[in-house]
Amino acid sequence: MKTNAYESTVMINAALDDDQIEVEVSRLQENIINFGGEIIEVDKVGRKRLAYIVNKSKIGYYAIFRFNAPSNIISKLERFYTLDDNILRFLTIALDKDALEYFEKNKAAALDLIPDVLTPAAPDEIIIDVKP
């Protein structure tokens, strides 16, 4: 069966503890794999303030899953999202060739920046601000 690239954005209830959110995200990853998908990337965006109240929540935790899967698992996956009480909202879209190229280009650009960011400072570059 032909596989397509998908992106699934899930808003999890931010009232959960960090450990509970990690368990929820890993459970979502396992479900994608169990339904026959292959995870490409998981982007944990974090807690964000919502523009309006959703299910009595003002804050949501966003996680974005990019994966390859046959088209028949999307209905199973969205059914799982609907039945899970910790998931406030979700949106799953199919990614076209241009979107995949965009993600690959941005990933390569981000990897080029990492060595510059992680370069340790020399001892003479460290400034300590001491107030009298």
User: Residue 131 — pLDDT band, cuts 50, 70, 90?
Assistant: low
Q: Is residue 23 part of a domain?
A: yes
- Reported pTM: 0.76
Q: Is residue 131 part of a domain?
A: no
CATH number of the domain bearing residue 65? 3.30.70.60
- Residue 16 phi/psi, 5-degree rounding, is -70, 155
Residue 106 has pLDDT above 70, yes or no: yes
Helical spans, DSSP H, in the chain: 18-34, 73-83, 97-117
**Residue ranges making up the domain that contains 41:** 3-125
Q: Is residue 40 part of a domain?
A: yes
Q: Is residue 130 part of a domain?
A: no
pLDDT in tens, 38-82: 999 999 999 999 888 888 888 999 999 999 999 899 999 999 999
Q: What six digits make up the tokens of 11?
A: 């808003």
Q: Is residue 99 part of a domain?
A: yes
Q: Looking at the 3D structure of the chain, how many domains does it have?
A: 1
pLDDT at 13: 92
Q: Is residue 132 part of a domain?
A: no
Q: Is residue 51 part of a domain?
A: yes
End-to-end Cα, the chain, rounded Å: 71
Residue 26 has pLDDT above 70, yes or no: yes
Q: What six digits make up the tokens of 128?
A: 């300590």
